Structure 1
């Protein structure tokens, strides 16, 4: 078993584990939320706007079949290598999807093998920077040396739970779909 290493931001804060834990997700994770098509030049703006729309909806308290304990997912999928665009979804984990209201999206995160990287930003305002750094590392450095390749069923997803809301030491898990190289 390889030793778990961490990438550093500055001299003190651990941003993310560079050696993931491998898991087999046995059941799909269902989510209900919203989506946007985005790309490298617009991802931060698009995700910020989508997040504001989703938070406004969440304040209504009308998320049917929301799973307890609470969990939120942000999914990147359907990457188009030619134009550098992909679909980005965010929403809450639900126990089932009965109907999808107009303007909303549902998605079943597929069961399968995932490399799970724990991300720890230096503060709650640095999520975007930390996630971007981790994804660059995973796809440019980790995959070429891992014995795995990305599974095309889904690119990756962030799982936010009660740990992501901590005032000190927040963290999330970034799940990256993998298959043997």
Structure 2
């Protein structure tokens, strides 16, 4: 397992614009590129030209392994839907793929670590919203992305 560190931070509310779709654990690897292509068509840009870029999931249902998926950025364009990232407390993990292009396994490993190792003993509960934040750090020789998980103190 990679050396993963979780940091807590307060994030301000932010409006982003994107394309929603239904997804699941089984289909996310196909749904993400499909929705990304829709997003890039809507903003008239090529893949990778929009930073920051968000891959957000919310309302995960563990029984069906289904969730809502949003591919978004700061650019507003029809027919993109506006969405406000809630202000509040977030747990952040910076992810670096072992090979500079294999994001899927690295993100999966970080999410498993967050939910099965860090969260249970943390004193926090997940708020069922998480997102990948792709920035200028996501490109180049040593790319990284940040995963942010909305959390709250346990009751």
- Superposition TM-score, scaled by structure 1 size: 0.75
- The equivalent of 1:85 in structure 2 is 66
The equivalent residue for 2:94 is: 118
Which position in structure 1 is the counterpart of 2:150? 177
Which consecutive unaligned segments of at least 5 residues does structure 1 have?
A: 1-6, 9-16, 62-68
Could you tell me how far apart the structure 1 residues matched to 2:39 and 2:103 are?
17
Query: After the TM superposition, which residues 50-69 of structure 1 pair with which residues of structure 2 at under 5 Å, given as runs?
Result: 50-58=35-43, 60-61=44-45
Q: Which residue of 2 aligns with 1:13?
A: none
- Give 4+ residue runs of structure 1 displaced > 4 Å after superposition: none
Tell me which of 39, 43, 46 is aligned to 2:31: 46
Uncovered stretches (5+) of structure 2, i.e. residues with no partner = none
Q: 2:137 aligns with which of 163, 168, 176?
A: 163
Q: Which residue of 1 aligns with 2:119?
A: 143
Q: Is the 8 A contact 1:29 1:93 kept in 2?
A: no
Cα contact 1:123–1:169 (8 A) shared by 2: no
* TM-score, normalization by structure 2: 0.86
Structure 1 or 2, whichever has the larger Rg, is 1
Rounded Cα–Cα distance in structure 1 between residues aligned with 2:118 and 2:105 = 18
Q: Quick one: distance in 2 between partners of 1:42 and 1:151?
A: 22
For these two proteins, the number of residue pairs brought into alignment is 150
- Seen in structure 2, the aligned counterparts of structure 1 residues 124 and 91 have a Cα distance that, compared at 3 Å, is farther
Once the two structures are TM-superposed, the CA of residue 47 in structure 1 deviates from its matched residue by 1.1
